[in-house]
Structure 1
């Protein structure tokens, strides 16, 4: 037991970093989901007015959320 040690100092910082990263991922996912749902609710004509096609919705939503 002479060599055993416990490191409790880094635990709080690691947990804080973990939860900050989790919060960031959840926020990005929320942005993706909201953007996707809003674009999917538009008619084909409205999408065309924006220069989009229905097949582009997923990519646009991904770019909006994860390219920030």
Structure 2
């Protein structure tokens, strides 16, 4: 995995990127993007679930208070 990043680091050395190396970099970038997207989606889903549960609990509490009064 780290071998893909070595050509990027060596700016001082003129380096002609081969198709294989370019492909490797593209694959790494795609994997990173997919992982980031999945993490963001999971976080959003968790936040939405927490908010919905909190709202439901608040509504339930309000209903109980209204009924008791």
TM-score interval w.r.t. the shorter chain? 0.5 to 0.7
Aligned to 1:7, which of 17, 38, 42?
17
TM-aligned CA deviation for residue 18 of structure 1: 0.4
Structure 2 CA distance for aligned equivalents of residues 18 and 31 of structure 1: 20
Q: Greater Rg, structure 1 or structure 2?
A: 2
Q: How does 1:1-68 map to 2 (within 5 A)?
A: 6-8=16-18, 9-43=20-54, 46=57
> Equivalent residue of 2:53, what SS?
coil
Q: CA RMSD in A?
A: 2.3
More helix by share: 2
Where structure 2 has 5 or more consecutive residues not aligned to the other structure, the ranges are: 1-13, 59-69
Aligned pairs, number: 44
Where structure 1 has 5 or more consecutive residues not aligned to the other structure, the ranges are: 48-68
Structure 1 CA distance for aligned equivalents of residues 56 and 44 of structure 2: 22
Structure 2 CA distance for aligned equivalents of residues 25 and 10 of structure 1: 23
Structure 2 CA distance for aligned equivalents of residues 45 and 7 of structure 1: 56
